[in-house]
Amino acid sequence: MAGKRYLFTPGPTPVPPPVLQALAEPVVHHRGPDFRPVLARCLDRLKQVFRTSSDVLLFTASGTGAMESAVANLCSPGNRVVVVSAGYFGDRWIEIAERYGCQVEAVRYAWGEVPSADDVAERLAELGGARAVFLTQSETSTGVVCDVEALAAAARPSGAHVVVDAVSSLGAVPLEMDAWGVDVACSGSQKALMAPPGLAMAAVSEAVWEAEGRGSSPRYYLDWERARRAQEKMETAFTPAVPLVKALDVALGLLLEGGLEAAFDRHVRLGRACRAGIKAMGLELFSPDDDSSAVVTAVRTPAGIDSSELVLALRERHGVQVAGGHGPLRGKVFRIGHIGHYDVFDIATALAAVELTLVDLGADIERGVAVAHALRAYGQGVSV
């Protein structure tokens, strides 16, 4: 089976066959009746997934494009903004906001810590408010999924816009944009939405469209007003990645047909299964050992084994792709993503390959324990 590949990274993620089929359809023109119904349906489905009645703006970009659009459209140079950061992607908000000339006040945590609503409320009170508060729902570098509802509730009384990076979490864990008072939520196509990389979304609440809602930073391709005006005519401002929009539409259809609640429940159980298998091998979890950790499981490699070496060996020997560690976790942790088109057999495959490879690299692990524990944990609490 030379060449067989298994994709177990927290993005991009495997794409279901009907979505792949959509990619193979002839390209149609993007301003006309061949494309309009696809775009209309896709945008409507996105609203359902973000749980918002507001517009979801679609960009041909990766998730970072949506994040940059949030800073570029909300902020003016010199604005004070608060960024809650507990890892690599929280730090990305800091970098973008600094590039746009914002005065960034970071609420920083050690990588792996869980941000607290009290800390955010306290910092905002000390500062006397901020233009915006930037959050990362699922910090993909550590496996921590934070409590966006509580953090948004802590930030809102200050009058700051609440902006959420939901790139790796949307469709995997609950995000109630309207009910939780989130002003902007950003995501990308290649994670739990089960489509290939290349599309970014920014869901923008009505509060932001009101007067004073936006800032004066320069922007062109990512300008929200331009995007919204185009979408009102059921077009995009610029030529979109037509095949990707078709693919995303099909993927969202699958997600909604199965139901978001069912998807959230499956992700919780995939997380449980993965953690159970990891612990059965005697490995130490880096990500939290609870059901909040439903997106990616981060694991410390045993003493003496470099996680980058493990990642490479998994790919070369077994065609299994997992992710290594970012920044300070490089060489120390590996990460198994379980978002989107995954089932328990994917987890079992990933764990079996990790077990085999770690043993080859010299770890002392009883063979076969990981899969048995994972399958059992996946069934927990479920009547079959």
Take residue 46 and report the two structure tokens written for it: 């996105």
Per CB under 6 A, the segment of 75-83, 106-114, 135-143, 218-226 that binds ligand PMP is 135-143
Is 138 a binding residue for ligand PMP by CB under 6 A? The answer is yes
Q: Are 235 and 28 in contact (CB under 8 A)?
A: no
- Find the binder of ligand PMP among 52, 60, 79, 136 (CB under 6 A): 136
Q: How far is the CB of 314 from ligand PMP (least distance, A)?
A: 19
Nearer to ligand PMP, 49 or 121 (CB): 49
Instruction: Tokens for 289, please give them.
Output: 């050992």
Binds ligand PMP by CB under 6 A, chosen from 7, 11, 85, 102: 11
Phi and psi at 143, nearest 5°, equal 90, 5
Question: Counting contacts by CB under 6 A, is residue 168 touching ligand PMP?
Answer: yes
* Site for ligand PMP contains 68 (CB under 6 A): no
> How do strand 320-321 and strand 6-7 relate by DSSP bridges?
parallel
Rounded Cα distance, 220 and 239, in Å: 14
Q: Which residue number, 61 or 250, has a Cβ lying nearer to ligand PMP?
A: 61
Q: Which of residues 311-340 bind ligand PMP (CB under 6 A)?
A: none
Give the count of residues interacting with ligand PMP (CB under 6 A). Answer: 12
Give the nearest distance from C-beta 64 to ligand PMP in angstroms: 3
User: Contact between 140 and ligand PMP (CB under 6 A)?
Assistant: yes
C-alpha neighbours within 13 Å on the C-beta side of residue 165: 30
SS3 category, 133: strand
| C-alpha to C-alpha distance for 136 and 163, rounded to whole angstroms | 9
Question: Quick one: 59 or 89, whose CB is closer to ligand PMP?
Answer: 89
CA distance 292 to 147: 9
Binding segment for ligand PMP among 37-45, 60-68, 251-259, 276-284 (CB under 6 A)?
60-68
Residue of closest CB approach to ligand PMP? 63
Q: Does residue number 89 form part of the binding site for ligand PMP (CB under 6 A)?
A: yes
Residue 173, both tokens: 């864990």
Q: Which range touches ligand PMP (CB under 6 A), out of 48-56, 113-121, 160-168, 344-352? A: 160-168
Q: Applying CB under 6 A, which of residues 188, 196, 288, 302 lies at the interface with ligand PMP?
A: 188
Q: Is the peptide bond before 240 cis (omega within 30 degrees of 0)?
A: no
Q: Does 167 bind ligand PMP (CB under 6 A)?
A: yes
Q: Which region, judged by CB under 6 A, interacts with ligand PMP, from 22-30, 46-54, 150-158, 162-170?
A: 162-170
341: its two tokens = 């088109």
Token pair of 275 as six digits:
């953690």
Q: Is 203 helix (H, G, I), strand (E, B) or coil?
A: strand
| 165 lines the binding site for ligand PMP (CB under 6 A) | yes
Query: Of residues 62, 69, 79, 301, which one binds ligand PMP by CB under 6 A?
Result: 62
Integer Cα distance of 188 and 278 in angstroms? 28
Distance separating alpha carbons of residues 341 and 164, to the nearest angstrom: 23
296: number of CA atoms within 13 Å, CB side? Answer: 33
Nearer of residues 98 and 235 to ligand PMP, judged by Cβ: 98
Q: Is 45 exposed, middle or buried (0-12, 13-18, 19+ CB in 10 A)?
A: buried
| Residue 352 CB, nearest approach to ligand PMP (Å) | 25
**Options 121-129, 132-140, 256-264, 329-337: segment touching ligand PMP (CB under 6 A):** 132-140
Strands 80-85 and 296-300, by their bridges, are unpaired
Chain contacts with ligand PMP (rule: CB under 6 A): 11, 62-64, 89, 136, 138, 140, 165, 167-168, 188
